[in-house]
Structure 1
């Protein structure tokens, strides 16, 4: 048992009370299973490499002097341009890579930067439950208070296999959860862990409520290339909603490279500049050669047919998994 620390050496409350995270719980349970080897589906951990054109780009970048030095704190220009070019077709205007995109050390650090940029002690952040557990510490670090609004499963969901689309937002509970202290709302679509892709109608209603109450929207869209039904980006619904929205992306999820820790946020300049400022103070800049490789990834993904291949392969894996479950 650890010795009690003297009062002057005690850690800050923001880390002292941290409970064991869900990944550690699941990983320990998997390791302790009497049946081995075991497939651990408790963490987004790819069991295969990024495609060759991305790996080769990373190797090439390591041979360049400029790619082995600090990147600009807001990200390498080539990657910011590649992201702006890749997402402009979904937006109502051409994205400005310098004013509307900032590169972060993974999506998680990007979200922490967003919370650090806007949340002060006592501010409330609404999140839909269940949710990615890392939101908790990220919101609590700057002193924010989490307010949960449940996603409701279908009433007979315990008795039958149902679509994640049947999980619904209780808008009455959502509106009741809003107070004068509500500063931000977090949306995750496609959703982890439910898998729900929020409908355009749901997002429009959420967006309208946020516009009415002047609430910042943090839209976690790290799985934005893995969907099998129509997918709507909340920032694209109206200029009024876009003005309040920060969109989170992840090269780790897009290119099967979670260990690379390359993410980004997109949003209007009046929001993104403060995210960039917080990011600068948290880690200054992100890994240079892997940013360059991710830029090549975006530049070549369409030509390589990579996005379509990603969806096709994942659907195949999901179908095989479901067949094995049915057979069991």
Structure 2
């Protein structure tokens, strides 16, 4: 028996977020207090309206299979939310597939719409799972690095150079994990122009679409000519702090959705029916919960900035959304792995090496997630400042 297969051989099994978590857990078991600034998960609970709706659903016996595309009430609630937030009309009966979080929607899009050997373009740095999903789907990931020195704006010529006759899809994520950057409408229009000229699909990972602070977020699906070739992927995980509920969705034109639904049917069939009914309540009545989180994340972001401005050796770009900083540590003359190892051992603060997120070569970055309490973040920043001063 020969392992790994060609697809699996491209996927790293060490490094990144999980390795840091494992190291942090081990140190905590040894009695060391660790402040977690590595995990990209809202530290809030889920909306009470969603919890009560789930309980009510279970008591009502709604624990069997739902429609493959998702319960009708949830698809209707998602369509209403999209009209309210993005401004586009979505047919809940043939343009929405409810799946197991955003991750399923992303890999589902690759499996359903791309052939083995096709190329998919990622704007990097990006969520590391994109590369794993591409390899599992048998497609070839192609990087277009967005540069720190350019405030992560799009170099249209670089994107054009990376498009070949094998390119079939572009995946974008705005607000971005790990940079917190938001693609401007001008950048989205450039991507749209290339997608239309080359007949490409665009997958828009909108997991952080509710988390913007100073700059308005725009959906690429609203740009003329893009509605018919865009697959919107979103989830309840971030917007409602429902990470463990595993409810997400894709939105696309009916001729695309029929394929997404077939792959979804054979991949996961559906999320838990009662979790879907909880998500209905979140979309219908959970807006204030999201607004509360966004307000608090902005307060935390500004706290981190106050400390970063006092630390010599770290450069940053002010994040406009999500809940991450992608910190440049070039001036410290350490690799990302060395720096994160030093900070967790010296300061008891867990950060993620930036190499996991790909992107421009030859520079060193680390990701800091301010998805912890205000008090813990402040203590963490004090520790980081002290540790770096020792260097």
What residue is the counterpart of 2:6 in the other structure? 13
Question: What does residue 309 of structure 1 align with?
Answer: 292
Gaps of 5+ in 2: 311-381, 386-391
1:109-128 equivalences under 5 Å are 109-128=104-123
TM superposition shift of 1:204:
0.8
Work out whether residues 172 and 205 of structure 2, in 8 Å CA contact, stay in contact via their aligned partners in 1: yes
Aligned to 2:96: 101
Equivalent position of 1:251 in the other structure:
236
Structure 1 pair 12/64, CA: closer, same or farther in 2 (3 Å)? farther
Q: 1:324 to 1:153 in 2, by over 3 A?
A: closer
* Separation (CA, whole Å) in 1 of partners of 2:84 and 2:190: 23
1:187-224 residue CA offsets vs partner (Å, 9 max, x unmatched): 00010001111101100110111001001000001011
Partner of 1:48: 44
Shift of 1:316: 1.6
Structure 1 unaligned residues grouped into runs of 5+:
1-5, 156-165
1:99-119 CA distances to partner (integer Å, 9 max, x unpaired)? 111101010011111111012
Normalising by structure 1, we get a TM-score of 0.88
Matched residue SS, 2:35: coil
Determine the structure 2 residue equivalent to 1:85. 80
CA contact (8 A) 1:90 1:236 kept: no
Distance, in Å, in 2 between the alignment partners of 1:74 and 1:216 is 21
Deviation at 1:92, TM superposition (A): 5.4
Task: Kindly state the Cα deviation for residue 35 of structure 1 after the two structures are TM-superposed.
Answer: 8.4
Alpha-carbon distance change, 36 to 80 in structure 1, aligned in 2, over 3 angstroms: same
Give, in whole Å, the separation in 2 of the partners of 1:168 and 1:269.
32
Cα-to-partner distance string for 1:256-301 (whole Å, 9 max, x where unaligned): 1111111001111121221111111101111111111011111112
Contact 2:11 2:135 in 1 (8 A): no
Instruction: Note if 1:147 corresponds to 2:142.
Output: yes
Figure out how many residues of one structure are paired with residues of the other and give that number.
307
Root mean square deviation, CA, Å: 1.9
Matched, 1:224 2:209: yes
Deviations 1:239-272 (A, max 9, x none): x111110011110111111111110011111212
Contact 1:215 1:244 in 2 (8 A): yes
Distance in 2 (alpha carbons) for counterparts of 1:318 and 1:200: 24
User: What is the distance in 2 between the residues matched to 1:42 and 1:273?
Assistant: 37
Q: 1:149 to 1:84 in 2, by over 3 A?
A: same
Following TM superposition, by how much is the alpha carbon of 1:16 offset from its aligned partner in structure 2, in angstroms? Answer: 4.7
